[in-house]
Structure 1
Amino acid sequence: MSAETSTVHTDASGHGEHETMTKGRIWKVFFILLLITCVEFFIALVVAPKLGISSTIVNPIYIVLTLLKAYFIVAFFMHLKFEKVGLALAIIVPILFIIGLILVLTNESHYWIGLRM
């Protein structure tokens, strides 16, 4: 009898872990991601060509919108928003270091390309 009780208790605790992620919230996040993607396409296909906006202005906008989409995907679909702080930091801190490394390497690549020309 005690084995059944512990099994049922374990199963019940497993279901409550991501209890706040409902079908309604999944659809809400989906439509937010869809809206952000539509804004990106609208900028790329309508706004930028008609107004003649250069890529130096449009690219940072794309980067910000893409990072916003990445946040929603990681937070809700990968359930990182509902995890404990330690696990979230274990995933987010290395990503920040990777982003910093990419920025530094991008800066250095401009230096090396300029030297070769």
Structure 2
Amino acid sequence: MSSETTHAHDGHADDHASMSKKKIWQVAGILTMITAIEFIVALYLVPHDIIALHTANPIYIVLTLAKAFYIVAYFMHLKFERVALIYSIAVPVLFIIGLILVLTNESHHWIDLRG
């Protein structure tokens, strides 16, 4: 094994070693805080008309995406993977989301034609 291969492998192992118990608890705390904010918005701010529902929905979406990022990045260890692997997962997901949006739009067109 060449020294470059050994050195590259060691760097990758160091990235995984950074996921210590302290880091796990830190990420769990962040996820808990995001969830608490979602609960405050859903159970207090919206029912008491402090925030309108049409304003709260984008807040839910952003907070849920933030939680998804932390879960995928740290607990599924994608933060520690190479960029090519991340792109090989992220790009198809974006295409699928785009396909769903296009198909939804197209279905509304056909429904409007029938009605």
> What is the TM-score normalised by the length of structure 2?
0.77
| Residues 53 and 17 of structure 1: CA distance in aligned 2, closer, same or farther (over 3 Å) | closer
2:28 to 27, 30, 36: 30
SS of the counterpart of 2:47? helix
| Residues 113 and 59 of structure 1: CA distance in aligned 2, closer, same or farther (over 3 Å) | farther
Q: Distance in 2 between matches of 1:48 and 1:112?
A: 35
Superposed displacement of residue 112, structure 1:
4.0
| RMSD (CA atoms) | 2.4
Q: How many residues align?
A: 106
Q: Distance in 1 between matches of 2:56 and 2:107?
A: 21
Q: Structure 2, unaligned stretches of length 5 or more? A: 1-5
Deviation by residue 1:65-89 (Cα, 9 ceiling, x = unmatched): 1111111000000000001111111
Question: Residue 90 in 1 paired to residue 98 in 2?
Answer: no
Bigger mean CA deviation after superposition, 71-80 or 103-112: 103-112
> What is the TM-score normalised by the length of structure 1?
0.75
- Runs of 4+ residues over 6 Å off in structure 1: none
Q: Distance in 2 between matches of 1:109 and 1:46?
A: 36
Q: Structure 1, unaligned stretches of length 5 or more? A: 1-8
